[in-house]
Amino acid sequence: MLISIVIPAYNRPALLLEAVHSIAKQSYSDFEVIVVDNGSAPPISKSALEDALGERLLLFRHDSALGVPKAKNVGVKLAHGEVILILDDDDLLMPDALERISYAFSSYPQIDCLFLGVHPFGPYAAGPTKSRDSALRTVLDKSNPQERDGLYFFSDRLFDALLETVPVDFQRPAARRGMWNIVGGFDEDCLFSESAWTIRASCIGTIAFSKRPLTQWRIHDGNFGWPSDLELDQIQKRQMDNGISAGAHLLKVFDSEKGAWRVRAAMIRRYQSDQLLSKAYYLRGSSWPEGARALVNSFLLAPRPLHLKLAAKYFLPLRWFDHMRRGKNNG
C-alpha cells in the first residue's frame, strides 16, 4: 500500500528537514513525500530533501504564498498513494506511524479516514496539552466509540460531538484516495478549513481514530497562541469571530445538500445561532452596534426566548434614554 505524505511548507527549512527525516526513518518503506513550497524566500532546496528521501520526493512550488489550504489541496491532487495524509512542516511522525497506518487500513477495509493521535511537544506544550486532552475527552465521551485493536470506531454520533469541539487530533487525517475525492479538498476561504473538512468527513465515511499518538505536534513561538500585541478581550472576540466564520462556512455547505444533510444543517444553524448569541452577550457593554447585529442574526437563525430577554437588555435602555431626551426638550 503506497502512502502519500503531503507537507505544505513555508520559510521553515530547518523544521521541514526535521519533518522529512522523521519520515525517512519510518519502519514502513512504501511511501512518497509531496512537499508544496508555498512561496518560501529563498525557495526550498531540493537537494537537502533528496539526500533524505531520494526518489520518493516530489517538490512543487508556488512563487507566492497562496495560503495553507491551497497548498494542501495541491499536494493531495499530486499524490499517487492509496492513502494520503497531511503533515505540517513543523511536526514529526512517530517512527512506526506509517506501519500502523498501513496496518489499520489493511486490517479494516471499512475505514475511510483514520485520524492520527498527536503528542504535543516543545517549550510551550503544557497548556496546549491540557486543552487537547480536554477536547479529546469531550468528543470521546459524547460520541461513545467502539474500541478495538488500539483504534476507536465511530458512529454518526461523531458529528454531534465535533460541532462542540474539533480536537487537534481530528485535524490530522489519513484518508483513502476515494474519501478525499468525495469529501473534497480544504476550503481555501475558511479560517478553520481542517475542522470544517473533518465535520464534513464525519457525515460521509467510516471514521476511526488511533488511540496511540502517531504524530508529534510541535508547539513553538511560531504557532503558539495569538499575536502578542492583542489584549485579552481582543483575543476572546477573535476566537468568537473565528468560530462564527467556521459555522457560516459549514452552514453554506450543508444547506446545499439534501436528505439527512438537511437535518444536520439544522443542527449547524442552531450551533451558529448559539455562537452569535454568545457574541451578543459579550459585546453588550462594549460595542452595542456589533453586538445588536449579532443578536439579530442569531434570532433569524434559531429564535428562542433567550433572544427576547437579551433584546430587552439591548433596546429598552435606548427607549428610556429617548423618552428622557424628549421630556427634557419638551420642558
Helices (H) and strands (E) in the chain, counts: 12, 10
Same structural domain for residues 107 and 198? yes
Question: Residue 311's CB: how many other CB atoms inside 10 A?
Answer: 15
Q: Which of 158, 189, 218 is the last residue of a domain?
A: 218
The predicted structure's pLDDT at residue 228: 52
Alpha carbon separation from 272 to 172, 250, 287 (Å, rounded): 24, 9, 20
User: What CATH number is given to the structural domain containing 120?
Assistant: 3.90.550.10
* More confidently predicted of 313 and 59: 59
Looking at the structure, do residues 295 and 169 belong to the same domain, yes or no? no
Whether 224 is in a domain gets the answer no
In a domain, 52, yes or no: yes
Half-sphere exposure of 263 (CA within 13 A, CB side): 6
Q: Is residue 226 predicted with pLDDT exceeding 50?
A: no
Q: Is residue 126 part of a domain?
A: yes
Full domain range(s) for residue 118: 3-218
d(CA 7, CA 86): 6
Return the minimum-mean-pLDDT range out of 91-95, 133-137, 225-229: 225-229
**Domain boundary residue, one of 149, 184, 218:** 218
Task: Tell me: do 269 and 204 sit in the same domain.
Answer: no
| 48 half-sphere exposure, CB direction, 13 A CA radius | 13
Bridge partners of residue 215, in order along the sequence: 93, 118
Residue 225 reports pLDDT greater than 70: no
Same domain, 162 and 293: no
Average pLDDT, the chain: 87
Whole-model pTM: value is 0.82
What is the residue whose three cell numbers read 445588536?
292
* 167-224 per-position pLDDT tens digit: 999 999 999 999 999 999 998 877 678 888 999 899 889 999 999 999 999 998 766 5
Amino acid of residue 54? G
Residues 171 and 265 in one domain: no
- pLDDT, tens only, 247-271: 777 777 777 776 667 777 888 888 8
Q: Tell me the average pLDDT across 278-283.
A: 89
Closest CA to 268 of 243, 240, 234: 243
Residue 92 in any domain: the answer is yes
Nearby residues of 68 by Cβ (< 8 Å), 6 or more positions away: 8, 10, 38, 193
149 and 111 within one domain: yes
Determine what percent of the chain falls in helix, strand and coil, rounding each to the nearest 5: 55, 20, 30
Query: Across residues 102-112, what is the average pLDDT?
Result: 97
**E-state strands within the chain:** 3-9, 31-38, 57-62, 83-86, 92-93, 113-121, 146-148, 151-153, 173-176, 207-218
Grid coordinates belonging to 81: 498513494
Residues 193 and 248 in one domain: no
Give the cell for residue 315.
Answer: 433596546
DSSP labels for 206-264? -EEEEEEEEEEEE--TTTSSS-TT--HHHHHHHHHHHHHHHHHHHHHHHHT--THHHHH
- 231-246 average pLDDT score: 69
Please give the tally of structural domains in the chain.
Answer: 2
Find the length of the chain: 331
- Higher-scoring residue by pLDDT: 23, 221: 23
Check pLDDT > 80 for residue 232. no
Percent with pLDDT over 70 in the chain: 88
For residue 124, name the pLDDT band (cuts at 50, 70, 90).
confident
Residues 58-104 have pLDDT tens digits of 999 988 878 899 999 999 999 999 999 999 999 999 999 999 999 99
